[in-house]
Structure 1
Amino acid sequence: MSDQNHILVEKQDDILTIRFNRSDKKNALTTAMYASILEALVAADQDETVKVILFAAQPDMFTAGNDLKDFLAQDAAEEPEAMKMLRQLAVQKKPIVAAASGIAVGIGVTLLLHCDLVYVGEKTRLRLPFVNLAVVPEAASSLLLPDIMGRQRASELLMLGDFFDAQRAREYGIANAVIANEEVFEYALAKAKELAAKPREALLLTKQLITKTRRRDVQQRIDDEGVIFGERMVSEEARQVMGAFFSGKS
């Protein structure tokens, strides 16, 4: 399985950067890309020289979410690489920083909920279109979003599925700060370096304490969402919506 360099993994000093690199397809994530991300995350936690993980892409595009054609072509009998990656993300020991700018859709937003520090570009547009596609939320977003912003705001984002801007992402608690698109990566990298300079064990233990209460609930919700998501993908409702999407009628 090859992602054709659609995921770039670079270690600079004690920071591991995982960069989406499929800009011709709006960084839509494929099975191979999820497998590469999973491999990088596991390796990062096992590598004593890695202190911080940084997710990034390009100034005008974080990710448009799942590659639907690739997603629909997966063997239903096998566990999706996306699920494996999400489970790892939920238990990641090392701090995670994200630099998201441009467009962030689906997993491009829910991934941010598992990051410890999130910085978004000022022109970024975010969206959680799961219901619009006749499926359900993933990455434990149905649990984490209400925790972060309250039920009504979470319902607004998850049920209506409309685009929202960077300022609202910050207001709702998804992002720490809004930065100029062309500067968001360097800003996030600087914050990652700040984290990496902290006492190692104290930093890891602090993340563990922050996430401890919800860790088991998050893992269970990822599984629960995954079961329903899989059922929805083969439902008649989803078949009709996906058909309209691919035919350009949606």
Structure 2
Amino acid sequence: MNDLITRELDQGLLTLTFNRPDKLNALNIAMYRQFGDLLLAAGEDPQVEAILITGGAHCFSAGNDLRDFLDNPPSDRDSPVFRLMRIVMGLEKPLIAAVSGAAIGIGATLLLHCDQVLVSRSVKLRMPFAPLGVCPEFGSSLLMPRMLGHARAARLLMANELLDGEQAVAWGLANELHDNGEQCLAAARQLARRLQGYPQEALRVSKRLLKDGLREALEATVERESQLFIECLRTPEARAALRELVRD
């Protein structure tokens, strides 16, 4: 396993850091596989009590690596990206995100599945599905209207709205704002430590109860989105949009 995602376990807190700064932590197939494997192992490891995901102090993730995406598009539900989604949705341990800089595409929809999202003022959150000729993914078409209302969800999922850190908190996509990435990471670690101090089974049961009301609908939505996403990727408009961005 390479270090596209670094792993640090410190007294029960597992920190997973996207580590591809030259590509703004854009996710390729290798990273999807590694991220899924790390989360799956963390869910089963009794030494892991809480999980913190971050891209470091400067950039969370620019979303899919578009060149890799063009060369290796997901073709079925067992593709690494869709496997990762199922693993994240099945995770029972607290999942916290510390987000700075770009949080684009799946780098943004991933946050919908975290129990706590802390952001810095540098955050640039965007879900550019429509401009790329594809549809929403990772359950965002279900979760975002419930979280934000239809109009705001449509601004993000259809109109490619860009949110900064302050707006992300105001809209309810994050729940803490910090001045810079270092402060954001420190606060996320402090919050994780607080959760670690509580009875772990009670935390897992609480998370399960919070998620159970939407679990079946969310799983069905992700399956439907994934199939439509695959179909959209095969259209000439999506291929043209992706090629244009890769060319740039």
Stretch moving more, 109-118 or 71-80:
71-80
SS in 1 for 2:98: strand
Structure 1 alignment gaps of length 5 or more:
none
Q: Which residue of structure 2 aligns with residue 32 of structure 1?
A: 30
SS across alignment from 1:160: coil
**Deviation per residue, 1:28-76 (Å, 9 max, x gap):** 0011101111111111111112111110112221100000111222265
- Cα distance in 1, alignment partners of residues 47 and 74 from structure 2: 38
Secondary structure of the structure 2 residue equivalent to 1:142: helix
**Residues 58 and 75 of structure 1, relative CA distance in 2, 3 Å threshold:** closer
Is the 1:74–1:80 contact (alpha carbons within 8 Å) kept by the matching residues of 2? no
Structure 2: runs of 5+ lacking an equivalent: none
Separation (CA, whole Å) in 1 of partners of 2:68 and 2:237: 19
| Structure 2 letter corresponding to 1:13 | Q
Does residue 19 (structure 1) correspond to residue 14 (structure 2)? The answer is no
Identity of aligned residues (%): 38
Q: Residue in 1 aligned with 2:227?
A: 227
Task: Quickly say closer, same or farther: Cα 1:77–1:163, change in 2 above 3 A.
Answer: closer
> Which secondary structure does the structure 1 equivalent of 2:40 belong to?
helix
Alignment check: 8 A CA contact 1:119 1:184 kept:
yes
Deviant stretches of 4+, over 6 Å: none
Name the structure 2 match of 1:152.
Answer: 151
Query: How many residues in Structure 1 have an aligned counterpart in Structure 2?
Result: 246
Does the 8 Å contact 1:170/1:177 carry over to 2?
yes
CA distance 1:153–1:75, shift in 2 (3 Å): closer
Q: Does 1:105 align with 2:104?
A: yes
Q: What does the per-residue CA deviation read over 1:193-241, in whole Å, with 9 as the maximum and x for residues that have no partner?
A: 1111111111111001000000111111111111011111110111221
Report how far residue 243 of structure 1 moved.
2.4
Q: Which residue does 1:61 correspond to in 2? A: 59
State the superposition RMSD in angstroms: 1.2
Q: Give the match for residue 90 of structure 1.
A: 89
Return the alpha-carbon distance in structure 2 between the equivalents of residues 123 and 203 of structure 1.
Answer: 31
